[in-house]
């Protein structure tokens, strides 16, 4: 399976092995900078992954030597016809919102530069494995922007306010080791072991029953946004659904 | 109170709740859960008790049973399942204790055993302890607060990984990510737990309860409301004898002796 586009080079490669889908950012000559074409291709790939019942886990990685994704392609900035249209497109083709509705686990394989929207894509994944040489950062503020792929919301929820404010306000870069300490990366491996490690992890996730995987991710994704008593009620509803399915075999 | 599957004892101002079904690895049953509820109620009502320690008899802290007792195949519908899950709960009873609660995790905590430990305020672990949430591979989801307390305690990334993969974690790994506060050699666990509990018990009991309440609610309240709660609790303490005793002991350079009033 692959994306349908034929006119332009594919900015996203989608492939499948067994129950695992592999989404690869594919603009290696610009460290996989995220541009409008990549947004459209990613939109298609995410829908394919969502709709393919065989897919139980997704691996996200970047092609090329230099990095996972160096951020948004700044050469295309300002190319939207107007701010109003840019905003309209942002929500009509809400890649990040779509991403969060996919009931399947994502594992990110992060190497080299993981910056800006690259970092934010990693933050939308469930588990992040980094190669030893990975560098993380949100440089937006230094460029007169704010992260706009969910970073201002996902980062503090994942690693806490102190690290989030430091990363956003200072726009500093973090080594893989620092990312590990922060909880941003779950593990660090040598570059050549990155994809095998991530694939093994994805296989482990793919072995879990898909319906409970989806319920567990809902509990984690939504439970943190409400006070504990409501969060426990959410867990109870989801746990009953899981137990009901289990008891019916 | 006559208990068959737990033991509730007191030593000075510290109460010890021991899961006491070592032959079944302290797996939680509806009967045990009812006894835990009763014990927690007794601890709450006993003014002589200032700190509760929760531990397990034998080599295992508490192993979940999959499927849990009373949740076998062929259930009728959501209502009886909900009823059964509720009857199996222990973490919510522990969490309802306003006094500080210390978990002395004497060995593996599996499934609901982890959730029980998460409902305590401080966690000491024996070096033989380990932690695993194997629910998903059994087609189940944690039902005793695990999916919500784990991310609140150790952060969403690590909680996600542990829950989704069902990976087992050693005591050493658990202390590295803040899931347990300290790891001690197995033979010293109860002595360390007792010492820690007594240190907490030597503080002013109402202040300790209010501190616990304020910190736990900090996660659930907008900052403005949390600051208001903190201020209210601080002012309430002005009316206690213990606050006067605390200030006097400081001025007189002696150890304070708190009455809990």
pLDDT in tens, B147-206: 999 999 999 999 999 999 999 999 999 999 999 999 999 999 999 999 999 999 999 999
In a domain, A153, yes or no: yes
In a domain, B214, yes or no: yes
Exposed / middle / buried, residue B15 (Cβ in 10 Å: 0-12, 13-18, 19+)? buried
For residues A247 and A242, give the distance between their C-alpha atoms in angstroms, rounded to a whole number.
9
- Is residue B124 domain-shared with residue B211, that is, in the same domain? no
State the residue range of the domain holding B235: 205-251
- Is residue A17 domain-shared with residue A132, that is, in the same domain? yes
Q: Residue B257: which of B5, B13, B9 has the closest Cα?
A: B13
Exposed / middle / buried, residue B76 (Cβ in 10 Å: 0-12, 13-18, 19+)? exposed
Decide if A249 and B220 are in contact by the 8 Å CB cutoff.
no
Q: Residue B110: which of B166, B30, B150 has the closest Cα?
A: B166
- Is residue B52 domain-shared with residue B131, that is, in the same domain? yes
- Is residue A163 domain-shared with residue A235, that is, in the same domain? no
For residues B149 and B157, give the distance between their C-alpha atoms in angstroms, rounded to a whole number.
13
* Residues of chain B neighbouring A183 (CB-CB closer than 8 A): 155, 157-158, 177
Q: What is the pLDDT of residue B213?
A: 94
Decide if A212 and B139 are in contact by the 8 Å CB cutoff.
yes
- Is residue B196 domain-shared with residue B210, that is, in the same domain? no
Q: What is the pLDDT of residue A3?
A: 46
In a domain, B47, yes or no: yes
In a domain, B95, yes or no: yes
Task: Provide the number of structural domains found in chain A.
Answer: 2
> Within an 8 Å CB–CB cutoff, is residue A217 touching chain B?
yes
> Within an 8 Å CB–CB cutoff, is residue B220 touching chain A?
yes
DSSP 8-state class, residue B236 = H
Q: What is the pLDDT of residue A143?
A: 87
Complete edge-to-edge strand list for the sheet that includes strand A67-69: A67-69, A113-115, A135-137, A173-175
In a domain, A70, yes or no: yes
- Is residue B141 domain-shared with residue B217, that is, in the same domain? no
Name the active-site residue from A97, A140, A199, A235. Answer: A140
Decide if A243 and B165 are in contact by the 8 Å CB cutoff.
no
- Is residue A190 domain-shared with residue A93, that is, in the same domain? yes
For chain B, give the percent of residues with pLDDT over 90: 85
- Is residue A93 domain-shared with residue A196, that is, in the same domain? yes
In a domain, B156, yes or no: yes
Q: Is A199 a catalytic residue?
A: no
- Is residue A163 domain-shared with residue A222, that is, in the same domain? no
Q: Residue A58: which of A101, A16, A28 has the closest Cα?
A: A16
Asked if B210 contacts B230 with a C-beta cutoff of 8 angstroms, the reply is no
- At A128, list the tokens: 């992040």
Among A126, A205, A216, the residue with its CB nearest the CB of B147 is: A216
In a domain, A3, yes or no: no
If DSSP codes are grouped into helix, strand and coil, which group holds residue B214? helix
- Is residue B157 domain-shared with residue B110, that is, in the same domain? yes
In a domain, B261, yes or no: no
- Looking up residue A73, the CATH number of its domain turns out to be 3.90.226.10
Q: In angstroms, what is the C-alpha Rg of chain B?
A: 19
Q: What is the pLDDT of residue B75?
A: 58
Sequence-separated (6 or more) residues with CB below 8 Å from residue B15: B8, B9, B43, B46, B49, B51, B52, B53
In a domain, A6, yes or no: no
How many CB atoms lie under 10 A from the CB of residue A162?
A: 10
> Within an 8 Å CB–CB cutoff, is residue B215 touching chain A?
no
Asked if B227 contacts B173 with a C-beta cutoff of 8 angstroms, the reply is no
Q: Is A92 a catalytic residue?
A: no
Chain B CA closest to residue A223: B148
Question: What residue has token string 């079904």?
Answer: B21
Q: Which helix (H) or strand (E) holds A105?
A: none
Asked if A162 contacts A142 with a C-beta cutoff of 8 angstroms, the reply is no
Buried/exposed code over A139-151 (b: 16+ C-beta within 10 A; e: otherwise): bbeeeeeebebbb
Name the active-site residue from A76, A120, A190, A192. Answer: A120
Q: Residue B200: which of B118, B103, B101 has the closest Cα?
A: B101
- Is residue B231 domain-shared with residue B144, that is, in the same domain? no
In a domain, B17, yes or no: yes
- Length of chain A in residues, anyone? 249
In a domain, A62, yes or no: yes
- Is residue A95 domain-shared with residue A112, that is, in the same domain? yes
In a domain, A53, yes or no: yes
- Is residue A58 domain-shared with residue A88, that is, in the same domain? yes
Q: In angstroms, what is the C-alpha Rg of chain A?
A: 18
Among B73, B136, B152, the residue with its CB nearest the CB of A212 is: B136
- At A131, list the tokens: 């190669």
* Residues of chain B neighbouring A159 (CB-CB closer than 8 A): 155, 157
- Is residue A16 domain-shared with residue A91, that is, in the same domain? yes
- Is residue B156 domain-shared with residue B226, that is, in the same domain? no
What is the DSSP code string of B105-145? E-S-EETHHHHHHHTSSEEEEETT-EEE--TGGGT----SS
Chain B CA closest to residue A243: B140
In a domain, A7, yes or no: no
For residues A33 and A14, give the distance between their C-alpha atoms in angstroms, rounded to a whole number.
17
Q: Residue A227: which of B65, B51, B216 has the closest Cα?
A: B216
What is the reported pTM? Answer: 0.90
Task: Provide the number of structural domains found in chain B.
Answer: 2
pLDDT along chain A (249 residues), means of 10: 56 96 97 94 96 97 98 82 73 84 97 97 98 96 89 93 91 96 96 98 97 97 94 96 86
Question: What residue has token string 């943190």?
Answer: A224
- Is residue B221 domain-shared with residue B126, that is, in the same domain? no
- Is residue A221 domain-shared with residue A152, that is, in the same domain? no
In a domain, A238, yes or no: yes
Q: Is the peptide bond before A238 cis (omega within 30 degrees of 0)?
A: no
* Residues of chain A neighbouring B177 (CB-CB closer than 8 A): 183
CB pairs under 8 A between A and B: 141
- Is residue B130 domain-shared with residue B56, that is, in the same domain? yes
In a domain, B130, yes or no: yes
Q: What is the pLDDT of residue B169?
A: 97
State the residue range of the domain holding A225: 210-247
In a domain, B40, yes or no: yes
- Looking up residue B220, the CATH number of its domain turns out to be 1.10.12
- Is residue A78 domain-shared with residue A164, that is, in the same domain? yes
* Residues of chain A neighbouring B219 (CB-CB closer than 8 A): 227-228
- Is residue A202 domain-shared with residue A225, that is, in the same domain? no
Among B72, B75, B151, the residue with its CB nearest the CB of A220 is: B151
- Is residue B57 domain-shared with residue B128, that is, in the same domain? yes
* Residues of chain A neighbouring B147 (CB-CB closer than 8 A): 216, 219-220, 223, 235, 238
- Looking up residue B109, the CATH number of its domain turns out to be 3.90.226.10
Give the residue from B160, B162, B213 with the most A CB atoms within 10 Å of its CB, the best one to mutate.
B160
If DSSP codes are grouped into helix, strand and coil, which group holds residue B36? helix
Which residues of chain B are under the pLDDT cut of 70? 1, 69-70, 72-76
Sequence-separated (6 or more) residues with CB below 8 Å from residue A221: A100
For residues B131 and B60, give the distance between their C-alpha atoms in angstroms, rounded to a whole number.
11
- Is residue B138 domain-shared with residue B28, that is, in the same domain? yes
Residues 96-125 of B with CB under 8 A from A: none
Residues 177-196 of B with CB under 8 A from A: 177
- Distance (Å) from the alpha carbon of B242 to chain A's nearest alpha carbon: 31
Interface confidence (ipTM) of the complex: 0.89
Among A127, A209, A238, the residue with its CB nearest the CB of B139 is: A209
For chain B, give the percent of residues with pLDDT over 70: 96
- Is residue A234 domain-shared with residue A170, that is, in the same domain? no
Decide if A239 and B142 are in contact by the 8 Å CB cutoff.
yes
Decide if A224 and B137 are in contact by the 8 Å CB cutoff.
no
Decide if A183 and B82 are in contact by the 8 Å CB cutoff.
no
- Is residue B112 domain-shared with residue B215, that is, in the same domain? no
Sequence-separated (6 or more) residues with CB below 8 Å from residue B90: B28, B32, B33, B36, B37, B112, B115, B116, B119, B144
As a whole number of Å, the end-to-end CA separation of chain A is 32
């Amino acid at each position: 399976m692959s994306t349908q586009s034929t006119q332009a080079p594919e900015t996203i490669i989608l492939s499948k092995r067994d129950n695992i889908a592999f989404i690869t950012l594919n603009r290696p000559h610009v460290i996989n900078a995220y541009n409008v074409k990549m947004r459209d291709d990613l939109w298609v790939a995410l829908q394919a992954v969502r709709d393919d019942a065989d897919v139980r886990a997704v691996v996200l990685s970047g092609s090329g030597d230099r990095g996972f994704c160096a951020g948004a392609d700044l050469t295309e900035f300002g190319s939207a016809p107007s701010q109003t249209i840019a905003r309209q497109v942002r929500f009509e083709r809400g890649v990040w919102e779509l991403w969060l509705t996919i009931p399947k686990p994502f594992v990110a394989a992060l190497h080299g530069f993981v910056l800006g929207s690259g970092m934010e894509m990693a933050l939308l994944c469930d588990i992040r494995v980094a190669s030893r040489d990975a560098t993380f950062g949100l440089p937006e503020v230094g460029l007169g922007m704010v992260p706009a792929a969910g970073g201002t919301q996902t980062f503090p929820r994942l690693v806490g306010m102190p690290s989030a404010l430091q990363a956003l306000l200072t726009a500093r870069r973090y080594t893989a080791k620092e990312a590990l300490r922060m909880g941003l990366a779950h593990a660090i491996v040598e570059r050549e072991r990155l994809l095998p490690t991530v694939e093994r992890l994805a296989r482990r996730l793919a072995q879990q029953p898909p319906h409970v995987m989806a319920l567990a991710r809902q509990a984690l994704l939504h439970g943190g946004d409400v006070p504990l008593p409501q969060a426990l009620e959410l867990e109870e509803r989801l746990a009953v659904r899981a137990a009901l399915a289990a008891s019916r075999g | 109170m006559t208990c068959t599957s737990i033991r509730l004892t007191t030593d000075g101002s510290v109460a010890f709740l021991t899961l006491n079904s070592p032959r079944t690895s302290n797996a939680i049953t509806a009967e045990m859960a009812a006894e835990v509820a009763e014990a927690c109620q007794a601890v709450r009502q006993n003014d002589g008790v200032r700190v509760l320690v929760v531990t397990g008899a034998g080599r295992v802290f508490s192993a979940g049973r999959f499927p849990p007792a009373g949740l076998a195949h062929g259930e009728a519908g959501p209502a009886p399942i909900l009823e059964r899950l509720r009857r199996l709960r222990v973490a919510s009873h522990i969490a309802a204790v306003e006094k500080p609660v210390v978990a002395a995790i004497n060995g593996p905590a599996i499934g609901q055993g982890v959730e029980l430990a998460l409902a305590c305020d401080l966690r000491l672990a024996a070096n033989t302890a380990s932690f695993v949430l194997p629910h998903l591979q059994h087609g189940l989801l944690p039902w005793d607060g695990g999916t919500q307390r784990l991310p609140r305690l150790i952060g969403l990334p690590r909680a996600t990984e542990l829950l989704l993969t069902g990976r087992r974690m050693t005591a050493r790994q658990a202390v590295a990510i803040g899931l347990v506060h300290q790891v001690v050699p197995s033979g010293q666990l109860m002595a360390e737990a007792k010492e820690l509990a007594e240190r907490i018990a030597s503080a002013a009991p109402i202040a300790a309860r209010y501190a616990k309440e304020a910190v736990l609610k900090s996660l659930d309240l907008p900052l403005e409301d949390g600051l208001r709660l903190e201020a209210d609790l601080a002012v309430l303490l002005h009316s206690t004898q213990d606050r006067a005793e605390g200030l006097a002991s400081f001025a007189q350079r002696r150890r304070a002796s708190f009455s809990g009033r």
